[in-house]
A and B are shown apart, each in its own frame.
Chain A
Amino acid sequence: MSGGTVINGRPVGNTLYAFPELWSRLGYVASYFNLLLGILLIILITDEFQFRTFRQQVIDGLSRAELVQAKLGVAVALVLYATVVVLTVGLYFGLTRGPQPAPGAITADLGAVALYALQALGYLSIAALLAFLVRKSGPAIISFLVYMWIAEPLLRSQLPDELDRYFPAKLLGSLTPTPGQELLNTVTGPTGALTPAQAVPFALGYIAIFWGLSYLLLRNRDL
């Protein structure tokens, strides 16, 4: 029933799908799909430039602030969708594959899902800023991936830990830490990343800054 995978002599299913640890594991796994959400948002925003519908909507009566607010609304909707997916998947596998949950165990660590949602919104904020900046879907997607995968890690590798933990991608990543990080830390030493609780205010700050910059870009350029 709970699969045939066995690690260290124990069937994995029993611990893998156990509440409440399941939520933080799932949040970590789901964080890999944030890039897809980001790409989707980039396409939605750059399409509006390509079809000149931003331009038409401003002509028809919207302000540029309302255009940015509308896209923030789309980002929030995407985050809600992703959160619902994570909750559904977690409940389904936790209840069907995991051990019988202790009373209150299911809701005990739902905060991990909230952290994931915040992270997803953070990724989407970076994606939106790049979309408003670059305005073409291909180059915007490429710059998003290059920044997340190559540019920022490369830059971080040149800087001391005290500084690089505050970089956007790193900081957002620390909202959903790798499961079993404590075990890894015994081998590699502490990561130097912030704890999720420490990262939350910075993540909120980044989100505000990125949307603010998106608005400034839109306001100061021709449509």
Chain B
Amino acid sequence: MSSLSEHGTHIHFRFASKRMAVLELNNLSKHYGSTQALRGLTLTVEEGSVYGLLGPNGSGKTTTLGMALGVLNASGGTIRWFGQPISSDSKRRVGAMLETPNFFPYLSARQNLRVVAAVKQADDQAIEDALEVVGLLARQHDAFSTYSLGMKQRLALASTLLSKPSVLVLDEPTNGLDPQGIAEVRTLIQRLAAEGKTIIIASHLLDEIEKICTHVAVLHRGELRAAGRVSDILATTDRVLLRPSATTTAATLQQALGQFPWVTDVQTESDGRLSAQLAEGYDPAALNKALFERGIVLAGLEMRQRSLETQFLALTQAQ
């Protein structure tokens, strides 16, 4: 804490008093020539969270992680790991993979992990353990170049686990895996998260973020569109769909809905139905009852979980 308080009174200190910030990005920018890949990204990853970076291809996820990991030079802004600037020491506390699995093709899996272990100052037993976790023990003596994409991806995951890091940074960790492999990797990530590790994942797969992350930041064209808990960003937008009975016009229904302060965002759907959002504590039954008391009969009433895709598209398309 003392080291954090030395660095001024900015807002992260308040978070730090609750939970330590593992990674703080402050106003981070990157341009390649005239292309602006990332504009003024500020976000804080707290200890113990599973933080998803979500965005379509080319939205700046890998650029963000590349700068955070020290392989890309930031055009502007600051990066702090555990409250300090990036250092060899901070890197050894982080297990990370970026984009593709990067290994010497002519060396075997074990030899490649030995190279990583030398850098990470990990021992032989750690190599054994990591290979076992990802299920590559049987093929450990084969050259990396003979591996399938899924195996390469799993070896990359093994190398991130070598030094038993408290933080994992994974860039598209399920890329190239078959459905079973995807499920395995997700289970592994969830297990590591349950052990209290902080995990930062970049993905363009909503489903993946929703299933494993506690927090999410949505990036689009290098800009941060939203950041916060997954439940706040992606899931609180359930809507009710209402179809008026033949005796009621849509206009009447709309007018009635407008009188309830707990019904918001009334919209006409493409099929003529109305959709609206209910305030917390109100359910469709309450809405039905209230409408019936005003003499409005519904022919249909249903809850629709606003799909993640819809929400994601809304976030990335709003200008």
Contacts and interface: CB of A to CB of B under 8 A. Distances in A.
A61 B92 CA distance: 6
A59 B69 contact: yes
B122 to A, nearest CB: 10
Contacts of B103: 51, 53, 56
Interface residues of A, number: 17
A177 to B, nearest CB: 40
Interface string B170-201: 00000000000000000000000000000000
Contacts of A88: none
Interface in A45-68: 47, 51-53, 55-63
Contact of A60 (B66, B104, B105, B119): B119
Contact of B119 (A47, A61, A222): A61
B98 interface: yes
Interface in B257-299: none
Nearest to B169: A59
Interface residues of B, number: 23
A56 B115 CA distance: 11
Given A59-B96, A60-B120, A61-B91, A222 B72 contact: yes
B2 interface: no
A220 interface: yes
B163 to A, nearest CB: 8
Q: Which of B66, B69, B71, B159: most chain A Cβ within 10 A?
A: B71
A221 B73 contact: yes
Given A59-B91, A63-B88, A222 B66 contact: yes
B116 interface: yes
Contact of B98 (A47, A55, A220): A55
Interface string B92-116: 1000111010111100000000011
A223 interface: yes
A52 B71 CA distance: 11
A52 B72 contact: no
Nearest to A222: B72
A8 B15 CA distance: 90
Nearest to B144: A51
A34 B116 CA distance: 31
B70 interface: yes
B246 to A, nearest CB: 65
B71 A60 contact: no
Contacts of A220: 73
Contacts of A60: 91-92, 96, 116, 119-120, 159
B119 A62 contact: yes
Interface string B43-71: 00000000000000000000000100111
Contact of B102 (A56, A61, A222): A56
A59 B98 CA distance: 9
Contacts of B115: 53, 57
Contacts of B98: 55-56, 59
Interface string A188-223: 000000000000000000000000000000001111
29 contacts: A47-B104, A51-B102, A51-B103, A51-B104, A52-B102, A53-B103, A55-B71, A56-B98, A56-B102, A56-B103, A56-B116, A56-B159, A57-B115, A58-B70, A58-B71, A59-B69, A59-B96, A59-B97, A60-B96, A60-B116, A60-B119, A60-B159, A61-B91, A61-B119, A61-B120, A63-B88, A221-B73, A222-B71, A223-B72
